[in-house]
Amino acid sequence: MSINLDTDSFYDSFNPIDPNFPLIIAGPCSAETRHQVISTASQIASLNKVTYYRAGLWKPRTRPDGFEGLGEKALPWLAEAKALTGLKMAVEVAMPSHVELSLKAGIDLLWIGARTTANPFSVQEIAEALQGVDIPVLVKNPLHPDLKLWIGALERINKAGVRKLGAVHRGFYTYDNGPFRNLPMWELPIELKRLNPDLPVITDPSHISGKRSLVAEVAQKALDLAMDGLMIESHFHPNHAKTDANQQLTPASLSKILNKLNLRQEFGTEDFESILTEIRREIDHIDSELLQILSRRMEKIEGIGRIKMENNITILQIERLRQMMISRLKTGKELGLDSAFILKLLQLVHKESIQVQTKLLTKKPNNGDL
């Protein structure tokens, strides 16, 4: 898949307080009262680590009876908080009117929420309202793990002339999220970065975790995976928050988490890089062997498929599959490989093997010797 983004190095324009510290966006899930907005902002500003203060004004709620945010009424509070603390202001926009009101109120950064990203019509309308806008715009991943939809939304915003573009990784809703509110599925933001190395990707550990106790761990993992920043929800009285009470942190807890973050470099000394290059050469060689082995396996599969076809035997023999899985899992375990990983790998290889044999059935006979 190719990705077609034309962005400025907008990351520089973030101008974080400490250039060695990752970009931090923090603030309450929702703006609730003037006092809450201003007190929380003052406490967050005093940490000296946060660049953008986030607060949701228009809240997309699953059910119509939830708190839907205060809307434009809270915009002047954000302006006040900015004047008081120097923090830049960030809000979520879901409709063109939100964009217009926010720009008029001097908001410094806009983001598109997960529910909106999933709807190309909405994203297109927002893109049109953003035509030529010079402030950073971040696009959260859609609720479900669809990388194309995420990229599509980024492309729509970019095509409207927004060059200060970034992505927010906030996890994905799947049928089994384990301990998370939204499964991180790190492979998706990593793939997004691989496709577009210049695009900053900021992780939102709050919406991934869904609970305070997990935020630190997810935040650290994001930095270990070279993500470019963090968006973390923080509220002066989290337990009384009108939205996402379980995952919001007091500014004091946020401070602890930020101070404990282990910052790693993406590149090391020359010596380190040469050791790395050597190990990578070995890994490249092993990968090449792996692929050759897979290719040999698939050749054998084709052979066995032909014999089954000639003898009118079903492609699948369930007992053979059962035995094969048991023996391979046992070998994998003996070799110290993770069983869940080996199971997934075997299932994938088996699926491909079935496909190879199925293709034989649909191929035209070749000189009658099939």
Q: How far is the CB of 56 from ligand PEP (least distance, A)?
A: 5
184 binds ligand PEP (CB under 6 A): no
Residue 204 and residue 365: Cα distance in Å, rounded? 55
Contact residues for Mn ion (CB under 5 A)? 29, 244
Residue 308 and residue 317: Cα distance in Å, rounded? 11
3-state helix, strand, coil in the chain (%, to 5): 50, 10, 40
Residues with Cβ within 8 Å of residue 338, at least 6 apart in sequence = none
Amino acid at 5: L
Name the 3-class secondary structure at 212: helix
Residue 194 and residue 60: Cα distance in Å, rounded? 31
114 binds ligand PEP (CB under 6 A): yes
Cα–chain center distance at 70: 28
Q: How far is the CB of 143 from ligand PEP (least distance, A)?
A: 7
Q: How many residues does the chain have?
A: 370
Evaluate whether 321 touches 350 at the Cβ level (below 8 Å): yes
Q: How far is CA 338 from CA 33, 188, 200, 345, in A?
A: 50, 21, 32, 11
Nearer to ligand PEP by Cβ, of 233 and 357: the residue is: 233
140 binds ligand PEP (CB under 6 A): yes
Q: How far is the CB of 171 from ligand PEP (least distance, A)?
A: 8
Q: How far is the CB of 170 from ligand PEP (least distance, A)?
A: 4
78 binds ligand PEP (CB under 6 A): no
Nearer to ligand PEP by Cβ, of 172 and 342: the residue is: 172
29 binds ligand PEP (CB under 6 A): yes
Evaluate whether 100 touches 129 at the Cβ level (below 8 Å): yes
Q: Which stretch binds ligand PEP (CB under 6 A): 39-47, 77-85, 108-116, 293-301?
A: 108-116
Residue 125 site contact among ligand PEP, Mn ion, none (CB < 5 to 8 Å, cut-off depends on kind): none
207 binds ligand PEP (CB under 6 A): yes
Residue 177, classified by CB atoms within 10 Å of its CB into exposed (0-12), middle (13-18) or buried (19+), is middle
37 binds ligand PEP (CB under 6 A): no
Residue 36 and residue 57: Cα distance in Å, rounded? 13
With CB under 6 A as the contact rule, the residue among 22, 27, 69, 113 that binds ligand PEP is: 113
25 binds ligand PEP (CB under 6 A): no
Amino acid at 73: K
With CB under 6 A as the contact rule, the residue among 98, 164, 169, 170 that binds ligand PEP is: 170
Residue 185 and residue 189: Cα distance in Å, rounded? 8
Residue closest to ligand PEP (Cβ): 113
Q: How far is the CB of 291 from ligand PEP (least distance, A)?
A: 38
Q: How far is the CB of 273 from ligand PEP (least distance, A)?
A: 37
With CB under 6 A as the contact rule, the residue among 22, 27, 56, 238 that binds ligand PEP is: 56
Nearer to Mn ion by Cβ, of 29 and 165: the residue is: 29
Q: How far is the CB of 207 from Mn ion (least distance, A)?
A: 6
Nearest to 59 by CA among 79, 83, 31: 31
Binding site for ligand PEP (CB under 6 A): 29, 56, 92, 113-115, 140, 170, 207
